[in-house]
Structure 1
């Protein structure tokens, strides 16, 4: 699970400030306020991790990538090549413990969280180049080991650490190489030292954390009358939810069983999703069936009401097909995943928007085959109904305030600010921002004034008669 994020000089962001991420993190804000850029950087980091090109510090994307950010200049704040792109990312260690032991001094360093702090600048060809890379191993909010890969006054790379003494191998005094991608000290550079193998552990943990980030965009694929599935297991539902039905079939074929939290009823994956759709109040029943025995073509059948006829998903309201990817992704992704979702409430009735908060709370608490899933959701939303339900569940004790983080993204002149909202045990936001969901009182006042003017005009007309 990601624990923290800070971004400087990326697109509209001069500096996000420190962002503390919870199991359920929700970001609100006006359109074009920079919310989506936060997720876009994570996608760029993930596709860099997945790239086969180790010498490219940052894979900014193309038509086949997860995200296409254009040129490095376009990524920088104000398109100023003098700016340094900096991001600091922290995450929990799966298994909740990482132990580093120096084979020479036998000193041991232990942590349950890893942080990566990277600064990238433009080179002479306006391409990204890593200028500084730091790892911090932390235990209980204290740093136990820091290692920095930096350039000296002669622009030569060196490794620095106050806690760990790196010892050179004899006869290997040549300069260190440029890092692989943005997070990995190359094998050749590590080989110059007798005790630098632990740096590969840091890189592997970075790859695991970023490979576990999944994204669901705001625009989802239209439903189909027939879906093809030949037995493959998709990594996710896709950015537009295009693999949602394949994911349901794959999870069901693998006999994956989930429940909504400790001591809750356990169900097969397809039945689990169907029950959530029913509880949301969207439909009465949901099933995925082959069009004929032995065929690879499937149809999604639903009932809008218990007494209704069973019809294909294309023949009911659009909301079903739009919420389905959000439901499936929340419970389909592997344990310890982070899911970034944009506007999952699109095309949904206000009541269903509220119920969606219960789905996401459950996703962070769910268990699979008896084990905790530890899934994290970061949700961009415009829904007041979603927030109201979330506040209610905090007040009721269904979810603790520590497991929820709420942010408000807004423009302040040419700058963008990200304000953390303080949610107490009563579910109250203690620092409610001005015009959070628009100026409601102004609308009420204007409506009242218009009604009064209308009545006065009616009275004047009656008096003239």
Structure 2
């Protein structure tokens, strides 16, 4: 498990040292640097992980790939870059990361002043590839799959690699192939599901977001596509046998599906990066999504989650109070701009789910609005 991440001259940060836990929430204003934390880890996985083509595994930072597309070296170097003397012996511009897990590892790439628009950055040293880069991994962008008639069927990605796709585009095929895989007994297994199998467990958790919903994933014969359909259990006068296309159901369920599957298939050593898991969900659904995230972390997986939702925060606080997670298992970072950059404040959650610090601007808009209404 990664316990600390340091960014040097990377995007919004000249230097940032960030402790991480089994469940880490990244909160704060837009464009304050939260996504840069996820992108840093995704960049390392993309550049040095097991899925990079051996033909291009030359020890360089691969800025554009199937996880992230960051542009060019010019785009990732911090505008006011400084010397990275603890990483390099020279003052040459460089981007660097220090990842502390079972052991500390450094990743450094020089910025080539003559080729700032290249989308690879040559590593300064031979990079030792740590164990965490080869463990089960998922990264789901905020821009996830939208309701569609069909989704891709790729054995190499969804089945051989077990990857849902950065947008979750391979989730339906993964679910189709692994429908009978059992969710291990523990916090993730939903007690209301009809069986411990992945499809039934997925349905049970999806019903936390939309009561009565069920889903079906099928291959379309003679094509390279799969189909997702929803049913609604005969509620609200809808025929239970009638299947509905995602395009006729709305965004929330399809947007949430990759998150649910990623959590349910997490192993005790998984690293899961999530952007805005609450997107398109109503408040109760956001709270239940937090319960799912907490359950995944309680199984031993590590989740790093960017969120703008106070319902997700409160859901995690409830999980701590209910002892699903221990206080030390949760880390909350609040990114706030100070006019000259970004400051990170880290409120602590105690065993009762209470926050020991509540910085100004940290999920306080409800109270601000209420004050104006009562004024």
> Which residue matches 1:220?
144
Task: Give per-residue Cα distances to partners, 1:33-53, cap 9 Å, x unaligned.
Answer: 111111111121111112533
Pick the aligned partner of 1:308 from 212, 216, 238.
Answer: 238
In structure 2, do the counterparts of structure 1 residues 343 and 304 end up closer, same or farther at CA, with 3 Å as the change threshold? farther
- CA shift at 1:416, angstroms? 0.8
Equivalent residue for 2:37? 38
Q: CA deviation at 1:214?
A: 2.2
Task: Judge conservation of contact 1:283–1:303 (CA < 8 Å) in 2.
Answer: yes
TM-score (norm 2): 0.82
Please name the residue that 1:142 is paired with.
Answer: none
Counterpart contact for 1:29–1:35, Cα < 8 Å: yes
1:118–1:283 CA distance, 2 compared to 1 (3 A): same
What is the alpha-carbon distance in structure 2 between the residues aligned to residue 323 and residue 317 of structure 1?
11
More strand by share: 1
Contact 1:229 1:298 (8 Å CA) reproduced:
no
Q: Say if 1:320 and 1:83 are closer, same or farther in 2 by CA, change over 3 A.
A: same
Distance 1:245 1:130, change over 3 A: closer
Is the 2:138–2:164 contact (alpha carbons within 8 Å) kept by the matching residues of 1?
no
Query: In the alignment, which of 229, 241, 248 is matched to residue 168 of structure 2?
Result: 241
Which has the higher Rg, Structure 1 or Structure 2? 1
Gaps of 5+ in 1: 92-112, 132-178, 185-202, 367-373, 450-465
Aligned to 1:165: none
**SS at 2:62's partner residue?**
coil
- Tell me, which stretches of 5 or more residues in structure 2 are unaligned? 83-91
Rounded to whole Å, the distance in 1 between the matches of 2:63 and 2:338 is: 28
Aligned pair 1:116/2:49, yes or no?
Answer: no
Q: Distance in 2 between matches of 1:263 and 1:257?
A: 6
Of 292, 299, 303, which residue of structure 2 is paired with 1:359? 292
Return the alpha-carbon distance in structure 2 between the equivalents of residues 124 and 392 of structure 1.
Answer: 50
> Structure 1 residues 256, 395: CA separation in 2 closer, same or farther (over 3 Å shift)?
closer
Deviation of the 1:268 alpha carbon = 0.6
Instruction: Tell me the equivalent position of 2:67.
Output: 66
Indicate the residue corresponding to 1:416 in structure 2.
342
> What is the rounded CA distance, in whole Å, between the counterparts of 1:2 and 1:123 in structure 2?
30
8 Å CA contact 1:410, 1:417 repeated in 2 = yes
Distance 2:301 2:238 in 1: 36
Q: CA deviation at 1:308?
A: 2.6
**CA 1:116–1:227 in structure 2 vs 1: closer, same or farther (change >3 Å)?**
closer
* TM-score (normalizing by structure 1): 0.67
Indicate the SS of the match to 1:443: helix
- Contact kept, 8 Å, 1:284 with 1:302, in 2: the verdict is yes
Cα RMSD over matched residues? 3.0
Distance 1:304 1:30, change over 3 A: farther
Paired residue for 2:95? Answer: 85
Q: d(CA) in 2 for partners of 1:317 and 1:120?
A: 43
Is residue 335 of structure 2 the alignment partner of residue 386 of structure 1?
Answer: no
SS of equivalent to 2:178: helix
Match of 1:397 among 303, 323, 342: 323
Q: Do the aligned partners of residues 282 and 74 (structure 1) sit closer, same or farther apart at CA in structure 2, a change above 3 Å counting?
A: same
The 1-side partners of 2:213 and 2:58 are apart by: 53
Q: Which protein, 1 or 2, shows the higher relative CO under an 8 Å CA cutoff with sep ≥ 6?
A: 2
Residues 446 and 118 of structure 1: CA distance in aligned 2, closer, same or farther (over 3 Å): same
1:284 is matched with which residue?
A: 213
